[in-house]
């Protein structure tokens, strides 16, 4: 892909709408653009990052036997009335609700429990129809009072939500634990470790839920976690004087960013919406239910907050829109050849063929933040002894030092690093 044909082609403009680090860097580098407070267009580069995050989620959820579908965003009031959530003051604070010109009341989805339960209720007769595991990637809306954290807390964002229905609490718990592991794997593949944190149920349930928290000084959340064991709890439900219940040691307090949240909802929704099934003995029973959510746009923001320096973003290899930022210093023909060779080897390349200075190209390479930078110049080409093929300058985004290597060596090195990601 050539930078000269890319949109946007330049990043010279100053954007001052939002001062959070993720918004500034993602905007300057051309990944997103703000339409209004809390609402962003995903530009081609940004959509590529989200596509890669989504594919990692999709792969791991498919392994757990879940299937992808897509539900509507505009919900009739009646369906939210079945659980009473339409009129819940906490829901009314965040859900956009309105009446259309014909007097019908709608809500814009911030979650889909009622709609899923309504759907599966139409297809469940007996225990043989369970379990059901369905997920989607779709737009969610939240009427956020303050939307000043870039894509970390937006009014409109992409969400991956998974729902599972089971014949027993035991079966639900088993799958719930499996999804916990899938989530940890997903975040590991994306590039960070998370703490599985006990948290309040909010507008979803009276029980505890589990958040996936990523330690970060810019986080809006605060958690207590144990250094010795897996214990972690959101400060909202942690008693400051308490010790770790396992290790009896004082837990550590830390700021964090929530990147996922899972909810063991039990039979609350199936009871309210009358979704029952016949068990092996022909008895009617309530369906056991849980929901699970990861926000890919939020994850993108968290990654930028965590992995960046004063020059720009530093993408983990697994979600970088391209692996290689290719710079030609007056050697466009040779760079073209190298671009083709790399692409043939399955490596994604953005070739900066713009008519700008070397300094500007290097600055863009750092700002956009792909894992590898390759420079082709008079100097590198003159090193070709005829035996080891074309020489290039190779630099990792998170290293200071550049190396002079043959293209073949570099290709092998990058392919090896990419394979580790799966």
Binding site for its own copies (CB under 8 A): 5-10, 13, 33, 35-36, 39-44, 46-47, 50, 65, 67-76, 79, 92-93, 96, 98-101, 106, 108, 115, 118-120, 122-123, 125, 128-129, 132-134, 138-139, 141, 143, 155-156
Q: Residue 4 has which token pair?
A: 């000269």
Partners of residue 405 on adjacent β-strands = 392
Calculated CA dihedral for residues 221, 224, 225, 231, nearest 10 degrees: -100
Max CA pair span of the chain = 81
- Residue 6 or 176 with smaller CB distance to its own copies: 6
- Residue 100 or 419 with smaller CB distance to its own copies: 100
- Residue 70 or 420 with smaller CB distance to its own copies: 70
- Could you tell me the CA-to-CA distances from 179 to 163, 292, 346, 422 in Å, in that order? 11, 8, 31, 18
- Residue 10 or 399 with smaller CB distance to its own copies: 10
Q: Residue 329 has which token pair?
A: 């210093």
Q: Minimum distance from CB of 215 to its own copies (Å)?
A: 30
User: How far apart (Å, rounded) are the C-alpha atoms in residues 397 and 347?
Assistant: 16
Q: Minimum distance from CB of 54 to its own copies (Å)?
A: 12
- Residue 216 or 276 with smaller CB distance to its own copies: 276
Q: Minimum distance from CB of 193 to its own copies (Å)?
A: 29
Q: Minimum distance from CB of 92 to its own copies (Å)?
A: 8
- Residue 43 or 306 with smaller CB distance to its own copies: 43
Does residue 324 contact residue 373 with C-beta atoms inside 8 Å?
Answer: yes
Does residue 96 contact residue 111 with C-beta atoms inside 8 Å?
Answer: no
Q: Minimum distance from CB of 113 to its own copies (Å)?
A: 14
User: How far apart (Å, rounded) are the C-alpha atoms in residues 279 and 128?
Assistant: 8
Handedness of CA 163, 164, 170, 175 (dihedral sign): negative
Q: Minimum distance from CB of 31 to its own copies (Å)?
A: 10
Cis peptide before 131 (omega within 30 of 0): yes
């Amino acid at each position: 892909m050539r930078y000269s044909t890319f949109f946007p082609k330049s990043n010279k403009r100053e954007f001052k709408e939002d001062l959070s680090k993720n918004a500034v860097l993602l905007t300057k580098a051309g990944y997103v653009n703000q339409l209004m407070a809390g609402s962003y267009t995903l530009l081609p580069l940004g959509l590529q990052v989200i596509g890669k995050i989504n594919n990692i989620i999709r792969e791991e959820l498919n392994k757990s036997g879940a299937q992808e579908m897509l539900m509507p965003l505009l919900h009739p009031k009646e369906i939210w009335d079945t659980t009473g959530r339409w009129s819940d003051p906490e829901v009314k604070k965040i859900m956009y609700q309105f009446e259309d010109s014909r007097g019908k009341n709608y809500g814009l989805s911030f979650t889909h429990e009622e709609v899923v339960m309504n759907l599966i209720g139409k297809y469940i007769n007996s225990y043989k129809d369970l379990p059901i595991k369905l997920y989607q990637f779709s737009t969610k809306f939240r009427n956020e009072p303050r939307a000043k954290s870039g894509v970390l807390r937006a009014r409109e964002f992409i969400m991956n939500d998974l729902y599972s229905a089971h014949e027993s609490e035991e079966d639900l718990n088993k799958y719930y634990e499996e999804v916990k592991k899938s989530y940890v794997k997903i975040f590991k593949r994306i590039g960070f470790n998370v703490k599985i944190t006990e948290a309040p149920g909010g507008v979803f349930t009276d029980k505890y839920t589990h958040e996936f928290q990523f330690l970060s000084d810019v986080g809006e959340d605060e958690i207590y976690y144990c250094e010795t064991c897996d214990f972690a709890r959101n400060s909202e439900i942690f008693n400051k004087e308490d010790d770790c219940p396992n290790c009896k040691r004082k837990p550590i307090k830390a700021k964090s960013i929530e990147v996922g949240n899972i909810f063991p909802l039990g039979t609350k929704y199936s009871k309210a919406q009358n979704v029952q099934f016949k068990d092996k003995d022909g008895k009617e029973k309530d369906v056991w239910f849980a929901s699970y959510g990861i926000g890919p746009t939020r994850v993108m923001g968290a990654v930028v907050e965590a992995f960046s320096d004063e020059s720009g973003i530093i993408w983990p290899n697994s979600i970088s829109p391209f692996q290689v930022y290719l710079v030609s210093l007056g050697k466009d023909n040779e760079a073209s050849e190298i671009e083709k060779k790399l692409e043939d080897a399955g490596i994604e390349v953005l070739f900066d063929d713009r008519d700008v200075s070397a300094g500007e190209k290097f600055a863009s390479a750092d700002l956009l933040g792909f894992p590898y930078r390759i420079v082709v110049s008079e100097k590198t080409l003159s090193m070709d002894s005829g035996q080891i093929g074309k020489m290039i300058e190779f630099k990792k985004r998170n290293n200071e030092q550049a190396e002079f290597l043959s293209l073949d060596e570099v290709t092998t090195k990058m392919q090896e690093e990419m394979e580790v990601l799966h």
